[in-house]
A and B are shown apart, each in its own frame.
Chain A
């Protein structure tokens, strides 16, 4: 394919070498991107366009639809539930971003050592990642139960008062953070482990000879070389956190239509899911999705901008 491209470019005659090289590169790039572009256009861009349109309507999933301008967006800004959901989303994201990355890096560094049983430990940390949320949420509902749950039994044996994880509003979000962290640490650990393979051994040897402490080596060698990986982990974890959906819904959606006691586990995506399918307000739900999208976009944009300062390619 590239030979053909070269041939067409070559027969295109009197261009300077520089621009023909440029053209060839563009052609190569777009032919590599072609399957992705087609797929994303059909299975993502079109649905997305429809949802953007719906966000400006009073659509109720079906029936008559009327364009109402920015009404849904304005309604969201004055909707107390939306603000609660947004606050929960940020609190959740902040905690899980720290709790699921820092320990993951520590564990990855330890499990990069030549220690006995490290494959075994790697598997231990990764098991929560492989389990589906469908199975795991029920498991945790039993583990965290106030009366017959093991977590509280352990707390009781240690001599403390049992914690009403899933039954009191003040503990709802903490439970979601706990479970999400538990499920994500292994995931980030694996990515860090893969990244750590890129750190050349010679660098450490040279540094040791220069008498640099291990802490210095970590700061000056490991962290910079790991920075593209760290960047990837931070960006994707945050994007996932801000869209957290399955854990709160599987854990907290009750017959009373709340997500956790007093909506304490309610984050933005469960809210818009509830608006769309339980309260049949598709237009409003679409507007919420677009507001969230803009927020995530802005945060990611900042992350990319700031990344120039600390991410070290090559």
Chain B
């Protein structure tokens, strides 16, 4: 009978699998490229000359992953003489990246070096998970902290201690579809900026002129999260989501509410696609005229866009504003060999290494030295790479909230923001309720 045959096949499969598993279980994990991540770091070898350092970052795309694998080879080559072997242990670029790293930290089995987003820094440092690098920097004469952007290092510094080095930075810019502007006979954001006329009024005007429901064309687009969303609009009207000391909520100020009102109007007039990531796909498909995003957006546009495009600085409001997003490599406080780990960290943040990543066009290098910067400027399209660098001087930094819980704060604000852009509450209610509801996310 039919089922008998299939049952036989199935049980055969199981027997084979059992045998395979039995074999697999008896062999100890093999070394080589697929070296096991976990157990290696737990037993520190007696001779300090032989140290294993495991590091992790999340690659933005496949090309970036390849570069990180190359960097791992580079680090191994450069540090072989010092007896240090380096293992790259990637983790997926989705929400579970943090679940994985936090589970490993809780169990005392995290990599020696790992990347996180800048805003998450406080959670890790406040719970004593991160090694202070200052002593290692001080005794290493070859290391110059001045090569990195001062404002980023400033965020990594707390009470004279330095917790990590930046992997990359990125400012937010306006991506725009040149062909669409040409067809509409409009000045591009780049041209407007050059004429000193690129601000919230011209943004609204341009967005309205480009929006055409008949052609399913939107003038504008941006992700629905704090970066291009409430963070930017509050900042550009002269407000700030947090109070200057970052110990409280700043969203109920008139400036912040003005920013919220401006954004609400964009949604009301249906000038942009709703939803978080939908606009990214629509921009690349040629249905969105302008899109606010960080540098990480560039590779996707290159792959998918079948039109001419470029970037320009963010529009001015009451003040000039954009975000500077950044993410550091941190050193696990439980690392078995801090000196070896420091050597690896230096390689990973060297001009050569950051230049390699920047050349892909995914990130802006975190260093000011010419080698890294030139590698980045050469990564075209977009032609106007300088726009990313120009923003660094006036950008607001993605910043750790030392006396509070950024995840909780941003989640609660976002929920209210969603209600506001859906027209369920007014900008004033948004600002006031945000500060009421987030009061307990700050430690007094």
Contacts and interface: CB of A to CB of B under 8 A. Distances in A.
Are A and B direct contacts in the complex by CB distance below 8 Å?
yes
Interface of A: 60-64, 80-81, 145-148, 164, 166-170, 249, 253-258, 261-264, 273-274, 277-282
Interface stretch (B78-86, B99-107, B344-352): B99-107
Q: Give the interface size bracket for B toward A.
A: 35 or more
Nearest to A169: B422
B422 A261 contact: yes
Contact of A147 (B128, B273, B411): B273
B339 interface: no
A280 B274 contact: no
Interface in B284-310: 285, 287
A169 B275 CA distance: 11
A61 B104 CA distance: 10
Nearest to A261: B418
B397 interface: no
B407 interface: yes
Nearest to B216: A147
A168 B224 CA distance: 12
27 contacts: A60-B123, A145-B275, A146-B273, A147-B216, A147-B278, A148-B281, A170-B422, A249-B95, A256-B224, A256-B225, A256-B229, A256-B276, A256-B411, A257-B407, A257-B410, A257-B414, A262-B419, A262-B424, A263-B411, A274-B411, A277-B102, A278-B98, A279-B407, A279-B411, A280-B102, A280-B127, A280-B405
Contacts of B238: none
Given A63-B128, A148-B282, A262-B422, A255 B276 contact: yes
Contacts of A280: 102, 123, 127, 405, 407
A146 B274 CA distance: 8
Contacts of B95: 249, 253, 278
A146 B221 CA distance: 14
B225 A169 contact: no
Contact of A167 (B127, B129, B275, B415): B275
Contact of A80 (B98, B278, B437): B437
A170 B423 CA distance: 12
Closest 10 CB pairs of A and B: A63-B127, A256-B414, A262-B418, A167-B274, A257-B411, A256-B225, A255-B225, A167-B275, A279-B407, A261-B418
A216 to B, nearest CB: 35
Nearest to A271: B411
B419 to A, nearest CB: 5
A277 B98 contact: yes
Contacts of B287: 147
A278 B407 contact: yes
A199 to B, nearest CB: 21
Contacts of A262: 415-416, 418-419, 422, 424
A254 B222 CA distance: 13
B273 to A, nearest CB: 6
Nearest to A63: B127
B226 interface: yes
B275 A62 contact: no
Contact of A146 (B129, B223, B275): B275
Contacts of B212: none
Contacts of A166: 275
A64 B106 CA distance: 11
Contact of A62 (B105, B229, B273, B419): B105
Interface in B204-222: 216
B407 A169 contact: no
A256 B407 contact: no
A164 B275 CA distance: 9
Contact of A256 (B226, B419, B422, B424): B226
Nearest to B288: A147
Interface in B109-164: 123, 126-129
Given A62-B102, A254-B414, A274-B407, 20 more contacts: A63-B126, A147-B216, A147-B287, A148-B281, A168-B274, A249-B95, A254-B225, A255-B227, A256-B414, A256-B418, A257-B225, A258-B418, A261-B224, A262-B418, A262-B424, A263-B415, A277-B102, A278-B98, A281-B408, A282-B106
A255 to B, nearest CB: 4
Contacts of A81: 412
Interface string B178-195: 000000000000000000
